[in-house]
Structure 1
Amino acid sequence: MNNIRLPRILLLNALGLALFFSWYLPEGHGYWFTLDSNIFHFFNRELVKSHAFLVLVAVTNNRVFDGISLLAMGSLFFFYWRKEDATGRRRMFIMGIVMLLSAVIINQFGHLIPESHVSPTLYFTDIHRVSELLHFPTKDASKDSFPGDHGLMLLIFTGFVLRYFGKKAFGIAVIIFLIFIMPRMMIGAHWFTDIFVGSLSIAIVCLPWVLLTPLSDGLINVLDRYLPGKKKQFINTK
């Protein structure tokens, strides 16, 4: 392993663990709960103040909007894919496979954390629920909201974008992450800390071992060698 990258990995791991335990160890989650509660109640009050906001929150938590998030990520991926030659496009496709494989494994690791709780819409009483205010299919509650799976998937995508496409693409990926994670908090299906403590700490601990070690490149090289469809190069010896 590169001697420069190991300290970076350990530093990121330390930051991720510090973030998680700053929330996990204090009784009642300390100041994090106050922040969570304030953010939830701010948006919850807005639901009955503005019908336009209510509709916006309902629509952006519909399953169709999840498809739009996939379209946004795919569009960013396609922007770089179309610039590549056949070899580069094949490697990008394989990189996508490695990213999905990493997401599945990291997500399973996240669910090993000994912490589970309901969303704020199920925790608090005398609050407004979008599903009761509008007759519209939307997700406004979760019986197990920690860590945020949706947020973790977006963060893994963002990490791979930074590693393989650079800082400009990373900035766009961060915007995509914020746009598509905010509705979950605005409707009350997730606490702020489900994403910015749970999902983020898992990503900071796990992703460096995939992206800052030879692991991701090695998997890409292995799949590139054995997956069908690779054009063989023939050397003319005449």
Structure 2
Amino acid sequence: MTTRFPLILLLNVAGLALFFSWYLPADHGFWFPLDSAIFHFFNEELVKSQAFLWLVALTNNRAFDGCSLLAMGGLMLSFWLKEDKSGRRRILIIGLVMLLLAVVINQLASNIIPVKRSSPTLFFNNIHRVSELLSVPTKDASKDSFPGDHGMMLLIFAAIMLRYFGQKAFALALIIFVVFAFPRVMIGAHWFTDIAVGSLSVALIALPWCLMTPLSDWIIKLFDRYLPRRMQQVQNK
């Protein structure tokens, strides 16, 4: 793949501008009233609607995180089933590369970004917490919520789908992103900006250097060269 430096730099500038629009102003500027309004809207709904309370509780249960993995895996499986043996191997390797990028980018973001803040459920007083309203195990708080790591992983998945599987796959991946990332905002375990600023700005800065340069293709070729080919060996016997 030809490196597209102008577009990479443009996306990097957009990511930096997004982050600093939140980071530099006192009390995060116009972002804090938006964060506060979104949190309090959903927080009040918790006691207005029992159905909404249960929905938020269940979609923030650890089992629901497993559903996000199933959704991502199902989308990749739909492409895997259409491929021959070499194509299926390539898709599996793309999945491994996606996990590698997610781990590396998440670690870099955690160590480089000079931000540590608690979730809104730990920031505001006199609010409702799902864990106190129901006995269902659920995640409704975080001592270090920025950037949203769950949202970051889903954005990395969406970017991989765009790079290797096309725009329709990307659109479906964005739906998966919304469905599985924003319940964290609805329950108050994350601020809206943990995802809309934190996760997105990291993605705009880091992913172009991985996916709009030969780097990801090079890693895929490296994995393809050195990972064992057990299935092919068995078939050859």
Same structural fold, with TM-score higher than 0.5 when normalized by the shorter chain: yes
User: What TM-score results when the alignment is normalised by the length of structure 2?
Assistant: 0.95
Residue 90 of structure 2: aligned partner: 91
Residue 53 of structure 1: aligned partner: 52
SS in 2 for 1:135: coil
Superposed CA deviations along residues 134-173 of structure 1, whole A, max 9, x for unmatched, are 1111110000000101000000001000000000000000
1:103-122 equivalence runs, <5 A = 103-111=102-110, 112-122=112-122
2:163 matches 1:170:
no
Letter in 1 for 2:121: T
2:195 matches 1:195:
yes
Whole-angstrom CA distance in 2 between matches of 1:15 and 1:81: 34
Q: Is the 8 A contact 2:2 2:214 kept in 1?
A: no
Q: Is the 8 A contact 2:46 2:52 kept in 1?
A: yes
Residue 16 of structure 2: aligned partner: 17
Residue 72 of structure 2: aligned partner: 73
Whole-angstrom CA distance in 2 between matches of 1:158 and 1:108: 19
Whole-angstrom CA distance in 1 between matches of 2:120 and 2:223: 43
Per-residue deviation, 1:12:
0.4
**Aligned CA-pair RMSD:** 1.1
Residue 205 of structure 2: aligned partner: 205
Residue 235 of structure 1: aligned partner: none
User: What TM-score results when the alignment is normalised by the length of structure 1?
Assistant: 0.95
SS in 2 for 1:217: helix
Whole-angstrom CA distance in 1 between matches of 2:136 and 2:228: 45
Whole-angstrom CA distance in 2 between matches of 1:134 and 1:227: 47
**Over 4 Å off, 4+ runs:** none
Whole-angstrom CA distance in 2 between matches of 1:57 and 1:98: 32
SS in 1 for 2:118: coil
Whole-angstrom CA distance in 2 between matches of 1:134 and 1:223: 46
Residue 134 of structure 1: aligned partner: 134
Residue 216 of structure 1: aligned partner: 216
2:99 matches 1:100:
yes
Whole-angstrom CA distance in 1 between matches of 2:144 and 2:226: 39
SS in 2 for 1:199: helix
Letter in 1 for 2:103: V
Count of aligned pairs:
231
Whole-angstrom CA distance in 2 between matches of 1:160 and 1:23: 27
Whole-angstrom CA distance in 2 between matches of 1:16 and 1:153: 16
The percent of aligned pairs where both chains have the same amino acid is: 68
Unaligned runs of 5+ in 1: 233-238
Whole-angstrom CA distance in 2 between matches of 1:119 and 1:2: 41
Whole-angstrom CA distance in 1 between matches of 2:135 and 2:81: 42
Per-residue deviation, 1:2:
3.0
